[in-house]
């Protein structure tokens, strides 16, 4: 059984935000616009989390790329009243947009604030809607949505592998954020495969996860910066 | 038979005052009803607009995904504890002074539950998919416990309101009050036979016992919605009883406000006497102290736990952006009512009214202080804004209050707000029963001088 995971090397990450833009494009995210962003309704599946560290008078601000962490023990799934969000057998937390009633309990329960809500009917500037990625559904207003580790790309890789009569190999699935990272800071793959790149990175000494003490078991790992 | 109707007519005259608003409803009633209906209609139009455009018309935002709607939901459901709990507990403990107030308390419960129960629907992004709760419901979700608990409570308290109303409805039917069909239908064939009375009393007893655990479960489960998450400020074991205590506190306060207002409007001074207000306000005082005890424990553990994310929420309330609301809550729920109600000189009707209104406001602030600050301070360091409710949310709040008043106005238009048959029962047999009961409590009379022989035996040798 596969267990998809992601490793983000903060030593390589420059905080450029290309992953964010790629995610937006790939997953047909609506543009919140300046007015709604001012009202704290910015719309990103992958966010840049600002972190400050102080060393004496020196303040250093970094940005951590933060997708949905696809927890193994997801607090959002536990509270959903209608099975709209669920953990699939490959470890991805899915969201059934057609079933979500928009109660936003999952958003209130998620300690990482990974989910976003469609406050209005989504709009795309110009003819962007016609050029939407056909592999990803357009979400209506009033539902919660989230990062899926580019689940459509996983499915496509699996289908291609089946046509060619082989297993999905490490590196077959590359989410949009990883694909567009100019410094290749994001690695993606099967955590259950000991030979995969993510498994090897995860066994290194620099690995940490955000708020591990909560017991949510996120499947997004960070590699700390070297001294 | 002739004799009996005579006494009934006499008794009707005795309580004619209670029937007057039903049989001679005035212009004032029609004006109030129309005004309230207008407010309600405006509320529906605004809600329609929200459905049309989406929840974006509210002031909710990305970390603060729950706001006024959930605050009002918890608040209104809390008020509902007035009723059933007070009426059921007083009835259960055979507190004779309950007779003129149980009906009002029960009406509060039913009206407010209908309003509160609708609030989660207001809050849904897709109210059109509401029925998914039933077709795809997930038992593990606290929201589903909530739906079941509130529906059970609504049904139980409606039945509990209705059953003790049957003899009064039959009275209205027999007097030929219009609309006749309504009373004829609702009286359910009540003929006041001994068997019917026995069945009624039994049904009331069963409902009264049943309603108490359901009422406790309702607010416990509402607190679980928050407590079952990992959010700082919510994840607390004390939340269940804390919410129940707060609910009873706001419930008694709302009941006192309703009693004072109705007493004034319908001139019920003969029925709602100072003793009733005195007893109830002492209950309010006790609940206020209990509320403070729970609040103190809750925040003290948060402070001593010294967990960074907990502390952020703590100081957000104590000295941060929510300080005003937090300290206003403490003043309204604790300082002001305790000061007013502790002294006999201030425990007058106006004093009690002020204390009750501040408690109602304070309990609303308490719900606000629980819902918003936790969401506004996520564990991760996002730069967060401030939640400011939009006009739509205020409109829905006003709509909720208008519905509450309308519920009472309409109820008072068609049914007596004070249980007439229970008053009669009180006059006819309670005094005797109470005396008998009291005698049973007292120690048995000293044994007759049968003790003598003992003494004698000692003396014999």
pLDDT in tens, A132-153: 899 999 999 999 999 999 999 9
Which chain B residues in 297-316 lie under 8 Å from chain A, judged by CB atoms? none
- In this predicted structure, the answer to whether residue B75 has a pLDDT above a threshold of 70 is yes
Whether residue B62 and residue A116 make contact (CB cut-off 8 A), yes or no, is yes
- Rounded-to-integer distance, Cα B263 and Cα B268, Å: 4
Q: Which of A27-36, A62-71, B144-153 has the lowest mean pLDDT?
A: A27-36
- State the pLDDT at residue B175: 84
Taking only Cα atoms into account, the Rg of chain B, rounded to an integer number of angstroms, comes to 26
- State the pLDDT at residue B453: 56
Model confidence at B2, in pLDDT bands (50, 70, 90)? very low
Report the residue of chain B nearest A210, measured CA to CA: B380
Q: Give every CB contact of residue B8 below 8 A, 6+ residues apart in sequence.
A: none
Which chain B residues in 372-391 lie under 8 Å from chain A, judged by CB atoms? 375, 378-385
Q: Which residue among A66, A82, A107 places its CB closest to the CB of B137?
A: A82
* Cβ pair A81, B96 in contact under 8 A: no
- In this predicted structure, the answer to whether residue A111 has a pLDDT above a threshold of 60 is yes
Tokens read off for B284: 């309010």
Average pLDDT, chain A: 91
Nearest in space to A32 (alpha carbons), one of A143, A128, A122: A122
- In this predicted structure, the answer to whether residue B11 has a pLDDT above a threshold of 70 is no
- In this predicted structure, the answer to whether residue B345 has a pLDDT above a threshold of 60 is yes
Model confidence at B454, in pLDDT bands (50, 70, 90)? low
Q: What share of chain B in percent tops pLDDT 90?
A: 58
In tens, the pLDDT along B292-303 reads: 999 999 999 999
- In this predicted structure, the answer to whether residue B338 has a pLDDT above a threshold of 90 is yes
Q: How large is the ipTM?
A: 0.90
Q: What share of chain A in percent tops pLDDT 70?
A: 100
- State the pLDDT at residue A7: 95
**pTM listed for this prediction:** 0.91
Whether residue A81 and residue B147 make contact (CB cut-off 8 A), yes or no, is yes
- In this predicted structure, the answer to whether residue B116 has a pLDDT above a threshold of 90 is yes
- Rounded-to-integer distance, Cα B72 and Cα B43, Å: 15
Whether residue B380 and residue A52 make contact (CB cut-off 8 A), yes or no, is no
Model confidence at B458, in pLDDT bands (50, 70, 90)? low
Nearest in space to A63 (alpha carbons), one of A110, A99, A10, A21: A10
- Tell me if chain A has a CB within 8 Å of the CB of B25: no
- Rounded-to-integer distance, Cα A54 and Cα A142, Å: 40
- In this predicted structure, the answer to whether residue B385 has a pLDDT above a threshold of 80 is no
DSSP class of residue B55 equals: G
- Tell me if chain A has a CB within 8 Å of the CB of B427: no
Measured between beta carbons, the chain A residues lying within 8 angstroms of B148 are: none
- Beta strand A186-190 with A144-145: parallel, antiparallel or unpaired? unpaired
Residue with the two structure tokens 């990974």: A114
In tens, the pLDDT along A181-210 reads: 999 999 999 999 999 999 999 998 999 999
Measured between beta carbons, the chain B residues lying within 8 angstroms of A117 are: 55, 62, 65, 125
Compute φ and ψ for B218, nearest 5 degrees. Answer: -60, -50
Q: Which of A85-99, B11-25, B277-291 has the lowest mean pLDDT?
A: B11-25
H or E stretch at B407 = helix B391-414
* Cβ pair A49, A58 in contact under 8 A: no
* Cβ pair A101, A83 in contact under 8 A: no
Average pLDDT over residues B228-233: 90
Measured between beta carbons, the chain A residues lying within 8 angstroms of B130 are: 101
DSSP output for B117-145: HHHHHHH-S-GGGTTHHHHS--TTSHHHH
Average pLDDT over residues B47-70: 92
Which of B47, B51, B54, B312 best probes binding to A when mutated, by most A CB atoms within 10 angstroms? B54
Average pLDDT over residues B221-229: 93
First to last CA, chain A: 37
Measured between beta carbons, the chain B residues lying within 8 angstroms of A74 are: none
- In this predicted structure, the answer to whether residue A166 has a pLDDT above a threshold of 70 is yes
């Amino acid at each position: 059984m596969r267990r998809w995971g992601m490793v983000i090397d903060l030593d390589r990450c420059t905080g450029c935000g290309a992953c964010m833009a790629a995610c937006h494009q790939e997953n047909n995210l609506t543009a919140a616009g300046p007015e709604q962003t001012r009202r704290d309704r910015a719309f990103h599946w992958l966010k840049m989390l600002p972190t400050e560290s102080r060393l004496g008078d020196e303040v250093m601000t970094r940005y951590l790329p933060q997708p949905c962490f696809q927890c193994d023990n997801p607090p959002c799934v536990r509270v959903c009243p209608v099975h709209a969000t669920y953990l699939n057998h490959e470890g991805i937390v899915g969201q059934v947009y057609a079933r979500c009633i928009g109660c936003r309990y999952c958003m209130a329960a998620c300690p990482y604030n990974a989910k976003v809500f469609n406050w209005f009917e989504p709009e795309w500037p110009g003819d962007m809607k016609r050029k939407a990625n056909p592999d990803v559904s357009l979400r209506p207003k009033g539902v919660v949505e989230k990062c899926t580790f580019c689940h459509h790309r996983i499915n496509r890789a699996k289908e291609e592998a089946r046509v060619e009569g082989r297993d999905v190999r490490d590196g077959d699935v590359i989410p949009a954020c990883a694909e567009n990272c100019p410094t290749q800071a994001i690695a993606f793959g099967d955590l259950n495969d000991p030979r995969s790149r993510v498994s090897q990175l995860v066994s290194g000494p620099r690995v940490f996860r955000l708020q591990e003490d909560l017991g949510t078991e996120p499947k997004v790992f960070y590699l700390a910066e070297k001294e | 038979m002739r004799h009996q109707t005579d006494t009934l007519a006499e008794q009707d005259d005795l309580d004619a005052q209670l029937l007057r608003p039903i049989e001679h409803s005035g212009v004032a009633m029609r004006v109030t009803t129309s005004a309230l209906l207008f407010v309600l209609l405006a509320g529906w139009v605004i809600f329609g607009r929200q459905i049309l455009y989406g929840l974006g018309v509210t002031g909710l935002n990305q970390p603060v995904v729950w706001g006024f709607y959930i605050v009002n939901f918890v608040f209104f459901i809390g008020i509902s504890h007035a009723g059933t709990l007070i009426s059921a507990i007083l009835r259960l403990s055979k507190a004779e002074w309950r007779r003129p107030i149980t009906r009002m308390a029960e009406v509060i419960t039913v009206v407010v539950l209908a309003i509160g129960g609708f609030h989660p629907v207001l809050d849904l992004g897709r109210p059109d998919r509401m029925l998914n709760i039933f077709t795809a419901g997930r038992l593990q979700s606290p929201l589903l416990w909530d739906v079941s608990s509130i529906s059970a409570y609504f049904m139980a308290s409606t039945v509990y309101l209705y059953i003790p109303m049957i003899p009064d409805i039959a009275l209205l039917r027999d007097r030929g009050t219009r609309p006749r069909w309504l009373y004829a239908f609702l009286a359910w064939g009540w003929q006041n036979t001994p068997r019917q009375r026995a069945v009624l009393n039994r049904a009331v007893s069963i409902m009264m016992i049943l309603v108490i655990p359901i009422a406790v479960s309702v607010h416990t489960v509402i607190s679980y919605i928050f407590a079952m998450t990992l959010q700082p400020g919510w994840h607390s074991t004390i939340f269940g009883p804390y919410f129940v205590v707060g609910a009873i506190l706001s419930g008694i306060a709302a009941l006192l406000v309703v009693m004072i207002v109705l007493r004034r409007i319908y001139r019920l001074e003969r029925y709602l006497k100072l003793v009733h207000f005195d007893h109830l306000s002492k209950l309010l005082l006790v609940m206020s102290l209990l509320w403070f005890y729970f609040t103190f424990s809750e925040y003290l553990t948060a402070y001593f736990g010294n967990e960074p994310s907990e502390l952020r929420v703590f100081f957000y309330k104590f000295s941060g952006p929510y300080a005003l609301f937090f300290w206003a809550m403490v003043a309204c729920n604790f300082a002001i009512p305790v000061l007013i109600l502790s002294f006999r000189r201030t425990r007058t009707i106006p004093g009690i009214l002020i204390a009750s209104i501040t408690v109602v406001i304070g309990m609303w602030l308490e719900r606000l202080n629980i819902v918003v600050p936790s969401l506004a301070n996520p564990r991760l360091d996002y730069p967060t804004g401030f939640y400011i409710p939009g006009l739509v949310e205020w409109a829905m709040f006003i709509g909720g209050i208008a519905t509450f008043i309308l519920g009472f106005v309409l109820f008072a238009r068609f049914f007596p707000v004070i249980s007439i048959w229970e008053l009669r029962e009180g006059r006819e047999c309670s005094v005797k029963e109470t005396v008998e009961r009291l005698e049973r409590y007292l120690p048995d009379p000293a044994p007759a001088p049968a003790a003598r022989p003992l003494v004698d035996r000692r003396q014999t040798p």
